[in-house]
Amino acid sequence: MKVFYFTGTGNSLFLAERICEAAGGGDLVSIAAFLRECGETGQKDGESGDGKAIGWRKDVLIEDEAVGIVFPVYWVSVPAPVVKFLRQIRIESPYIFAVPTFGGFGLPVHDHLRELAREQKFHFSLIAGCKMPDNFVPWYDLGKQNRRFPQGKIAARADRAAELVAARHVGGTGATILRPLLPLAKRYSTKNASDFDTRYFRVEAACTGCGLCAMACPAGNIRMEGGSASDSRSRPAFCGMCWCCLACTNVCPQNAIRCEGEKSKARYVNPFVGAQGLLAQKAPHGVAAFETVEAHRTTPTTESLPCA
């Protein structure tokens, strides 16, 4: 089994891990690392936030007896990096599943997933949403979310979704009654994402320049800049191609990245993952070694080799 995940604050990573455990093993692959290694980041002009030039690779072939994606719902639809990922791959598997994690309400994400699968010529066997603590600081008081979701509740929800996958359950793939809202949701989502980092974030003087926010940012959207004779600390600077995951503001140990309109100063990172656990999302996964569909078709099989 291969499980691809994208996460901001760890809920989706935790769930992806539980899915692999319940299935008795599986390859866990970060979508952020995949995009980066196959040539895409959140950045403009072929450059990642840390200045590394990037290329582009399409039609990557994902084959296994089961293939899944786990990610957070953003504005009741699929986040931009997950859309990019799905448009870059071909999946060949008898069991393809999606487990979107959400905090309040995300039904149209089912319709978005169906639409993306149709584009890429595959069908999901299972789409099963999993309710987790909501990390959207501008709308929710994360202190209340933390209290409403003790660790046992988070684990129980993840295990329920993981059991569905382990049992190869089929379902949740039909059109929802909110399907007509999908075009509106996608427009809203694109509009909100367009200048998210500059509109929402403000770095306060409490910043020590530790760089954790930049290390956690899956889009490579944060550069550490500055440092002067009077103050040697560098500061995070946002590069304008944010994936809106809120990792930066939630991992900051100084609580120095404030969010416009935030309901409280409380922050959230999935307790089973922790701030350091989020960094795994950016570690190299060796995914650039995945075959493309074209390469796969031209790879000689043993039948075509001359007999010894």
Residue reference for tokens 């989020």: 278
Among ligand FMN, ligand SF4, none, the one that 278 touches (CB under a kind-dependent 5 to 8 A) is none
Instruction: State the minimum distance, in angstroms, from the CB of residue 207 to ligand SF4.
Output: 3
* Interaction between residue 273 and ligand SF4 (CB under 6 A): no
Determine contact, residues 230/248, Cβ cutoff 8 Å.
no
Give me the residues that bind ligand FMN (CB under 6 A), please.
7-12, 72-76, 101-106, 132-136, 244-246, 270
Which residues have C-beta within 8 Å of that of residue 280, sequence separation ≥ 6? 13, 30
Cβ distance to ligand FMN smaller for residue 7 or 30: 7
Instruction: State the minimum distance, in angstroms, from the CB of residue 79 to ligand SF4.
Output: 10
Backbone angles phi, psi at 254, to 5 degrees: -95, 0
Q: Count CA within 13 A, CB hemisphere, residue 60.
A: 21
Cβ distance to ligand SF4 smaller for residue 210 or 293: 210
* CA–CA dist 92, 25 (Å, integer): 19
Determine contact, residues 251/215, Cβ cutoff 8 Å.
no
Instruction: State the minimum distance, in angstroms, from the CB of residue 71 to ligand FMN.
Output: 7
* CA–CA dist 103, 150 (Å, integer): 14
Among 66, 166, 217, 259, binds ligand SF4 (CB under 6 A): 217
Cβ distance to ligand FMN smaller for residue 22 or 130: 130
Helix H or strand E encompassing 68: strand 67-72
Among 197, 259, 273, 277, binds ligand SF4 (CB under 6 A): 197
Strand pairing category for 201-203 and 130-131: unpaired
Among ligand FMN, ligand SF4, none, the one that 69 touches (CB under a kind-dependent 5 to 8 A) is none
State the number of binding residues for ligand SF4 (CB under 6 A).
Answer: 29
Q: Any bridge partners for residue 248, and if so which?
A: none
Residue reference for tokens 């200048």: 195
Among 82, 96, 245, 287, binds ligand SF4 (CB under 6 A): 245
Binding site for ligand SF4 (CB under 6 A): 8, 197, 203, 207-213, 216-219, 221-222, 236, 238, 242-248, 252, 254, 256-257
